[in-house]
């Protein structure tokens, strides 16, 4: 260092510090909320429309379950960051051949980079627990793909990792006693070490929903939903005396303690899947719209609060919500088709409560929402719903009478839409007020036309906007994603008795002081 350089003055240092802090705050390293997008739907949004929708919603990070070239091409020059995935059925070829790995990178990354911001590759999906026969191929595949990135000088732009089920971690509560499944140690240890060497994250699919469902009576619902808790209901780790106000933080810290047991402390947890279903069958009573709204709203706020976890308050994990769109082609149970925030046609399945966090998810906190009739419903069923709305439901149907402003077009769907919206608006857009036995849906598009002004527009023009709460587009819908992997409730089954056993046997008085 040359001694002749002038010593910076204090104002200059303060200015530099302020600039550096601002740079850090605007850095892409800051925690974010992204969304998983797949294609298991009957009516898929065309890629260009999908990208337009993402931009409208101010969504900056997505994860695709396969490197769909049309979507990647449509993402060009948008600034949206994307993780692309290697399906499980490609592990054998990539893990066995460096040439195949180089070809994959050339076809699915280099063909789009840098115009499309591909920032990560997720290799396989829960391979160690769902397809253990492929476990020996996982790290070789990751290393081969990374080597291809190094050869292309992209190793600093694109990370390579693999999403794992939470069940690779045993005894997750208290977090301080968690450890990786020892039967998988020959695969996990070298993988974690490789992630450390390459500055890559540990990808985990973490579902407090399944933890709650499989441990009801021991894990309170409020803890799973990020609801504010009095100290008496917080989860307490008896070894560290750290207090946990939500299940997700406890699961993340369990991963950090598990890595610490392997002498690895510099790998960050990236939550590649988390969410809550909005609808379920009779065996899934907690898969409801209200719980989905509460979980995902509080999750998003929790990430944007940047409060970290009790063990690492300085580190907030980024998360990818499962998922952006419902998938009507998913196999039973019912919840499998109802994890999305939106239907495939971009109408909301429900609306979040995330006002005050900027423009993210632009339409989720927009006050202008309407209830309209769904397409494809037979006229007899729609007529019955219309008759109920204008009769026992006491909707104002005067505008759809002959000669009035909303009579034309004179068909049952048009009249039903007006009646449904009248009922919906008069009930304050409350949960369930846009249902009508599955023939109605919520939309942010104003259905008014010509001189026909719908009740929602009249409310806005009269400065009587309602605060958006929870609403739902009742039944089937058009949805989105390709995911050739197992049902989540089966994949998480290894967690089934973990918390139960620990809560009862290890620390029954400290876990939940109810």
Of 222, 245, 226, whose CA–CA distance to 299 is shortest?
226
* Widest pairwise Cα distance in the chain: 91
Q: What count of other Cβ atoms lies within 10 Å of the Cβ of residue 446?
A: 14
Of 338, 294, 378, whose CA–CA distance to 476 is shortest?
338
Q: What count of other Cβ atoms lies within 10 Å of the Cβ of residue 186?
A: 11
Going by C-beta distance under 8 Å and a sequence separation of 6 or more, which residues neighbour residue 241? none
Instruction: Report the alpha-carbon distance of residue 138 to residue 196 in Å, rounded.
Output: 16
Please provide the distance, in angstroms rounded to a whole number, between the alpha carbons at the two ends of the chain.
62
Alpha-carbon distances, residue 157 vs 318, 339, 386, 463, 485 (angstroms): 17, 30, 55, 48, 28
Tokens of 356: 């005050």
Determine contact, residues 178/172, Cβ cutoff 8 Å.
Answer: yes
273 noted as active-site residue: yes
Going by C-beta distance under 8 Å and a sequence separation of 6 or more, which residues neighbour residue 87? 65, 66, 124, 125, 484
Quickly tell me which residue has 């350089």 as its tokens.
5
3-state SS, residue 232: helix
The total number of residues shown for the chain amounts to 514
Query: What element of type H or E holds 358?
Result: none
Could you say which of 126, 284, 323, 336 is catalytic?
A: 126
Q: Where are the beta strands (DSSP E) in 404-446?
A: 440-443
Determine contact, residues 313/404, Cβ cutoff 8 Å.
Answer: no
Going by C-beta distance under 8 Å and a sequence separation of 6 or more, which residues neighbour residue 46? none
Of 363, 326, 175, whose CA–CA distance to 261 is shortest?
175
Could you say which of 197, 273, 327, 399 is catalytic?
A: 273
336 noted as active-site residue: no
**Torsions phi, psi for 238 (to 5 deg):** -70, -20
Going by C-beta distance under 8 Å and a sequence separation of 6 or more, which residues neighbour residue 61? 32, 33, 34, 35, 80, 81, 82, 83, 318, 320
Which residues are catalytic, by number?
A: 126, 273
């Amino acid at each position: 260092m040359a001694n002749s350089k002038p010593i910076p003055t204090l104002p200059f240092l303060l200015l530099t510090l302020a600039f550096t802090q601002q740079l850090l705050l605007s850095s892409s390293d800051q925690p974010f909320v992204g969304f998983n997008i797949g294609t298991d739907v009957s009516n898929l949004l065309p890629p260009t429309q999908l990208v337009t929708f993402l931009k409208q919603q101010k969504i900056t990070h997505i994860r695709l379950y396969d490197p769909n070239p049309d979507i990647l091409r449509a993402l060009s020059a948008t600034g949206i960051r994307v993780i692309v995935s290697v399906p499980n059925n490609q592990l054998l070829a990539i893990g066995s051949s460096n040439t195949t790995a180089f070809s994959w990178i050339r076809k699915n990354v280099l063909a789009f980079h840098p115009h499309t911001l591909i920032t990560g590759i997720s290799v396989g999906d829960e391979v160690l627990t769902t397809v253990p026969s492929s476990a020996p191929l996982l790290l070789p595949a990751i290393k081969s793909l990374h080597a291809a990135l190094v050869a292309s000088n992209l190793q600093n732009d694109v990370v390579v990792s693999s999403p794992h089920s939470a069940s690779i971690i045993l005894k997750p509560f208290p977090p301080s006693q968690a450890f990786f499944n020892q039967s998988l140690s020959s695969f996990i240890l070298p993988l974690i070490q490789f992630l450390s060497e390459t500055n890559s994250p540990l990808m985990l699919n973490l579902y407090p929903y399944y933890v709650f469902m499989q441990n009801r009576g021991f894990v309170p619902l409020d803890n799973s939903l990020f609801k504010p808790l009095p100290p008496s209901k917080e989860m307490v780790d008896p070894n560290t005396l750290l207090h946990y106000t939500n299940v997700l933080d406890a699961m993340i810290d369990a991963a950090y303690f598990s890595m610490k047991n392997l002498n690895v402390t510099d790998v960050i947890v990236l939550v590649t899947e988390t969410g809550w279903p909005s609808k379920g069958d009779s065996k899934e009573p907690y898969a409801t719209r209200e719980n989905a709204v509460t979980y995902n709203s509080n999750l998003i706020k929790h990430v944007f609060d940047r409060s970290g976890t009790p063990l690492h308050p300085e580190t907030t994990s980024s998360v990818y919500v499962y998922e952006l769109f419902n998938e009507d082609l998913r196999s039973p149970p019912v919840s499998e088709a109802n994890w999305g925030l939106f239907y495939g046609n971009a109408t909301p399945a429900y609306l979040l409560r995330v006002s005050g966090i900027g423009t993210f998810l632009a339409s989720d906190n927009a006050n202008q929402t309407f209830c309209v009739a769904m397409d494809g419903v037979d006229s007899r069923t729609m007529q019955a719903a219309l008759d109920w709305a204008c009769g026992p439901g006491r909707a104002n149907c005067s505008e759809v009478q002959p000669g009035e402003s909303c009579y034309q077009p004179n068909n049952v769907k048009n009249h039903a839409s007006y009646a449904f919206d009248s009922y919906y608006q008069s009930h304050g857009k409350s949960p369930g007020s846009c249902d009508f036995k599955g023939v109605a849906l919520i939309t942010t598009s104003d259905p008014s036309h010509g001189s026909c002004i719908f009740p929602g527009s009249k409310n806005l023009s009269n400065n009587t906007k309602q605060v958006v709460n929870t609403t739902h587009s009742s039944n089937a819908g058009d949805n989105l994603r390709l995911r050739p992997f197992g049902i989540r409730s089966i994949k998480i089954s290894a967690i089934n008795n973990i918390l139960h056993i620990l809560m009862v046997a290890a620390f029954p008085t400290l876990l939940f002081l109810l």
